[in-house]
Amino acid sequence: MAYALYLLFLLLLIPFSVVAQTNGNITVGASLSATDEASSWLSPSADFAFGFHKLDNNLFLLSIWFDKIPDKTIVWYANEGQPVPRGSRVDLTADRGLVLINPQGEELWKSLSITGAVAYGYMNDTGNFALKDGNSQDVWASFRFSTDTILPTKIMERGEVLTARQTETNFSPGRFQFSLLDNGNLVSYVLNLPTNYANEPYYHSDTNDDANSLNSGSQVVFNGSGYMYILRVNGQRFMLTQGDVVSTTYFYHRATLTYDGVFTQYYQPKNSTGNESWSALWSAPDNICTRSHMTQASGICGYNSVCRLSADQRPICECPPGYSSLDPNDQFSSCRPNFIQGCYDGPGPHSSEDLYSIEELPNTDWPFSDYMHLQPFSEGECRNSCLQDCMCPAAIFRDQTCWKKKLPLSNGRTDRTERSKAFIKVGKGNFPQSPRLIPTPKPRKKNQDTLILVGSVFLGSSVFLNFILIAAIFLGFFFIYKKKVRRIHRGESIVETNLHCFTYKELAEATNGFKEELGKGAFGIVYKGEIDTGSGNFVAVKKLDRMVQEGEREFKAEVNVIGQTHHKNLVRLIGFCNEGSQRLLVYEYMRNGTLASFLFGDSKPSWNMRTQIAFGIARGLLYLHEECSTQIIHCDIKPQNILLDDYYNARISDFGLAKLLMIGQSQTHTAIRGTKGYVAPEWFRNMPVTVKVDVYSFGVLLLEIICCRRSVDMETSGVEYAILTDWAYDCYREGTIEALVEGDMEAMNDRTKLERFIMVAIWCIQEDMSLRPTMKKDLLHSLV
Ligand code: ATP
Ligand code: MG
């Protein structure tokens, strides 16, 4: 099977064959077709190709790409990034240049600015595709119409614009632009789509000297040696490239405005052995999250979200606690509260403490949308004032000052250098109806009416009376706040992150003497508990009983790493206890249990829900592997370690535990972690453990999600079906994938996605770990 799989993937990896001239010249009358065997026009060195690039969705993009590197990075595209169907054609004509035609013969795009008759086309070794007249002068060139990328030898003139694509794989124009303005300033800014309204730049070179126009920028030069600079009118250079540039003889270079708004210069060795990818040399701006101040837009991320910089200087957008993404497939989507926001007027409890708690986000700011400025004010007063104010969804505190904010929150950012702290109000789930629903108005009781009437009289009367009323409310709440005793101490017990350090006694109380077991795992028992941490009521307390006893410092260090790991598809660690021989971890409680019980229970969950869960797990793993500050290999991905929150979002649990439980042992070549049926073969082969072990387990899990059955099932099915991975592979090879989802009409009707999911799963479970995909580049894109 391994050999067959290997062959299968070799086949998949074979690019559409390139048969073309090698001198770079293309004669008028030549054409290319969008088919699997499509040809492309190569540059003399064969470094660059022009032609139809086949995308994952089976459409073709007329584009230019680096042809010798494995991932064939695209550097230019025609037709505003719109891909075309199979059977489309591009013709090189004398009078209209390049003409793109769909299979129905309709013209979709043609090269513009034809200033003379075209004699021939030329695919240059610089990556520039040019149309030449009889005197070998350019009449059109791709370099003059750059899309999101520029290459060495390209010069950007004033007024030229690079536009980012929408996502890594969607090439239509996105919301970020990078431009050398007419005044000589080089800027990046966000557009308010669908109009082209440009917001305040989040990057500017400041090369627009009004007083001395000779100082202004006139061109952006990306020279043949790989350096980028702004050439001022007076001939001086304003260097953009930072750091030492590796030689363009041995390395490819490109500078791209990435789909998330960062302009980055990358390089990659020309003689790639297959494992290399692009490395970043420098980026502008250095921190896109903290540089953005847009008064008329959401900022880099969506509304109500927070932007954080990843290790590779790209923005990561996250929803704050209590909020979830409006569109989980869109990184820049806005976030909406998961609870009733505003002044609640439904049945049930009404006090602010009953309904809401305040979550603290250190080093976080939403700089705009204030409705009240309070100064001098203490941190506690700020927090409490927001909790008690039904208009207040969030407040920011810094330097004895409190800013109360209104929705939507914009330009959210979190960064170590940020001195503000954010308080965000989160619903406790005590609303009598589903928090997603707006409560239907119920007839009010008489005394409520009286109260409201009195309130309205007050609010409608003089400023003085209002003042007295507000003061009285504050005094009242201050009293209640002081009296509140069952708060768990913060501050002194915190270990660098904002994790709680619980005493054993506190946890014994919270779990009612470790009474209610949620489940039992290899390392101890998990109990349900109830505490007042300001993040909701219930928690899951995991008592570790197989910990190596030594390693106090390492325990704290590892717990800290876990505590800093926040993502909407991970179960959040709230705190821990490290007292004598007792080591416990306190997690958010996940009301809807494990994916195992969800998938293998009595009724089969819907295909749509299952695919959403698979995306969620992939996103969580991608974060652990590539986006969080310390890479985490989970080592025990299985349906028992995927939990489901209130809204059935997949949340990975137990990440970081592999390392924690190995404290005192060496990192690699160690005892097998993980669970039978899910562990990758390299565990048995004394090979180093990499993120690919998780990719393997993810593949097995994906098959379980597709088929709603366990990976190993000796009882209910016959021998030939007992091992799910073997059975799935057989079905795939024999073209009988319907058997895997028998009776599941929803899955059968979604055949393309079903096939894709099965292919990805098989891709993940290959014996040779180097043939498995990585979470980011290949896997997530193939799933979507
Ligand atoms: P392993 O020890 O290999 O991870 P496991 O995942 O089954 O196996 P535990 O992680 O100890 O074992 O969890 C035991 C059970 O406790 C889970 O199966 C789940 O039902 C429950 N559980 C764990 N964490 C939570 C949580 N945050 N919220 C709700 N239930 C939880
Ligand atoms: Mg577990």
What does the pLDDT look like over 295-339, one tens digit per residue? 999 999 999 999 999 888 899 999 999 998 888 778 899 999 988
Give the number of whichever ligand sits closest to the CA of residue 587: 1
The DSSP secondary-structure symbol of 609 reads H
Give the pLDDT band (50/70/90) at residue 546: low
What is the residue with the minimal CA distance to atom 9 of ligand 1?
521
Consult the annotation and say whether 482 binds a ligand.
no
Record the tokens describing residue 349, joined without a space. 């409890």
From the CA of 598, how far away is ligand 2's center (Å)? 15
What is the residue with the minimal CA distance to atom 23 of ligand 1?
526
* Ligand 1 atom index nearest CA of 638: 6
Q: Which fold has domain 490-589?
A: Phosphorylase Kinase; domain 1 (3.30.200)
What is the residue with the minimal CA distance to atom 27 of ligand 1?
589
CATH classification number, 146-286, choose in 3.30.300.30, 3.30.450.20, 2.90.10.10, 2.40.50.100: 2.90.10.10
Q: Is the separation of the CB atoms in 123 and 137 below 8 Å?
A: no
Q: Is the separation of the CB atoms in 46 and 21 below 8 Å?
A: no
Give the number of whichever ligand sits closest to the CA of residue 546: 1
Q: What percentage of the chain has pLDDT greater than the value 70?
A: 81
Mutate to test the pocket of ligand 1, among 518, 595, 599, 652 (most ligand atoms within 8 A of CB): 518
Q: Say yes or no: domain 594-784 is CATH 1.10.510.10.
A: yes
| Number of neighbours of residue 345 by Cβ within 10 angstroms | 14
Render the burial of 721-749: b for 16+ CB within 10 Å, e for the rest: bbbbbebbbebbeeeebeebbeebeebee
Residue 642's beta-bridge partner residues? 652
Residue 395's beta-bridge partner residues? 404, 423
Q: Is the separation of the CB atoms in 79 and 62 below 8 Å?
A: yes
Residue 498 confidence (pLDDT) above 90: no
Give the pLDDT band (50/70/90) at residue 432: very low
What is the residue with the minimal CA distance to atom 29 of ligand 1?
590
From the CA of 641, how far away is ligand 2's center (Å)? 4
Residue 261 confidence (pLDDT) above 80: yes
Residue 438 confidence (pLDDT) above 60: no
Can you list the positions of beta strands (E) in 612-722? Answer: 642-644, 650-652
Give the pLDDT band (50/70/90) at residue 9: very low
* Ligand 1 atom index nearest CA of 524: 11
Residue 527's beta-bridge partner residues? 517, 541
* Ligand 1 atom index nearest CA of 523: 2
CATH classification number, 23-145, choose in 3.30.559.10, 3.40.50.2300, 2.90.10.10, 3.10.310.30: 2.90.10.10
pLDDT of residue 190: 97
By three-state DSSP, how is residue 172 classified?
coil
Mutate to test the pocket of ligand 1, among 514, 526, 646, 672 (most ligand atoms within 8 A of CB): 526
From the CA of 588, how far away is ligand 2's center (Å)? 13
Q: Is the separation of the CB atoms in 714 and 619 below 8 Å?
A: no
Give the pLDDT band (50/70/90) at residue 449: very low
Please name the helix (run of DSSP H) or strand (run of DSSP E) that holds residue 237, with its range, or none.
strand 237-239
CA dihedral sign of residues 759, 765, 770, 771: negative
Give the pLDDT band (50/70/90) at residue 466: very low
pLDDT of residue 483: 33
Give the pLDDT band (50/70/90) at residue 714: confident
- Ligand 1: residues with CB < 6 A are 518-523, 526, 540, 542, 571, 587-590, 593-594, 636, 640-641, 643, 653-654, 675
Give the pLDDT band (50/70/90) at residue 628: confident
Among this protein's residues, is 636 annotated catalytic? yes
Give the number of whichever ligand sits closest to the CA of residue 585: 1
CA-wise closest residue to 61 among 19, 29, 108: 108
From the CA of 360, how far away is ligand 2's center (Å)? 27
What does the pLDDT look like over 365-385, one tens digit per residue? 999 999 999 999 999 999 999
Give the pLDDT band (50/70/90) at residue 81: very high
d(CA 715, CA 94): 71
pLDDT of residue 673: 60
- pTM score, whole prediction: 0.55
What is the residue with the minimal CA distance to atom 10 of ligand 1?
521
d(CA 584, CA 589): 15
Mean of pLDDT over the chain? 83
pLDDT of residue 626: 86
pLDDT of residue 156: 97
CA-wise closest residue to 393 among 377, 369, 362: 369
Judge if 23-145 and 146-286 fold alike in CATH terms. yes
Residue 769 confidence (pLDDT) above 70: yes
Residue 168 confidence (pLDDT) above 50: yes
What is the residue with the minimal CA distance to atom 13 of ligand 1?
521
CA dihedral sign of residues 594, 596, 602, 605: positive
Give the number of whichever ligand sits closest to the CA of residue 677: 1
| Number of neighbours of residue 488 by Cβ within 10 angstroms | 16
Residue 348 confidence (pLDDT) above 90: no
What is the CA 761 to chain-centroid distance, rounded?
21
* Ligand 1 atom index nearest CA of 526: 16
From the CA of 623, how far away is ligand 1's center (Å)? 21
Mutate to test the pocket of ligand 1, among 586, 594, 701 (most ligand atoms within 8 A of CB): 594
- What is the rounded end-to-end Cα distance, in angstroms, of the chain? 27
Residue boundaries of the structural domains of the chain: 23-145, 146-286, 295-433, 447-489, 490-589, 594-784
Query: Higher confidence at residue 545 or residue 204?
Result: 204
By three-state DSSP, how is residue 695 classified?
helix
Query: Higher confidence at residue 542 or residue 657?
Result: 542
Query: Higher confidence at residue 673 or residue 696?
Result: 696
**Which among 148, 636, 645, 654 is annotated as catalytic?**
636
The letter for the amino acid at 273 is T
d(CA 406, CA 665): 51
pLDDT of residue 475: 44
Contacts of 69 (CB under 8 A, 6+ apart): 252, 268, 272, 276
Residue 667 confidence (pLDDT) above 50: no
Residue 490 confidence (pLDDT) above 60: no
pLDDT of residue 544: 85
Record the tokens describing residue 179, joined without a space. 């431009």
Q: Is the separation of the CB atoms in 216 and 233 below 8 Å?
A: yes
CA-wise closest residue to 312 among 332, 286, 346: 286
What does the pLDDT look like over 218-256, one tens digit per residue? 999 999 999 999 999 999 999 999 888 999 999 999 999
Q: Which of the listed ranges 108-117, 340-349, 479-488, 555-564 does the model predict with the highest average pLDDT?
A: 555-564
d(CA 287, CA 203): 9
The letter for the amino acid at 90 is V
* Ligand 1 atom index nearest CA of 587: 27
Residue 106 confidence (pLDDT) above 50: yes
Q: What is the DSSP pairing of strand 364-365 with strand 413-414?
A: antiparallel
By three-state DSSP, how is residue 515 classified?
coil
From the CA of 610, how far away is ligand 1's center (Å)? 20
Give the pLDDT band (50/70/90) at residue 387: very high
From the CA of 153, how far away is ligand 2's center (Å)? 54
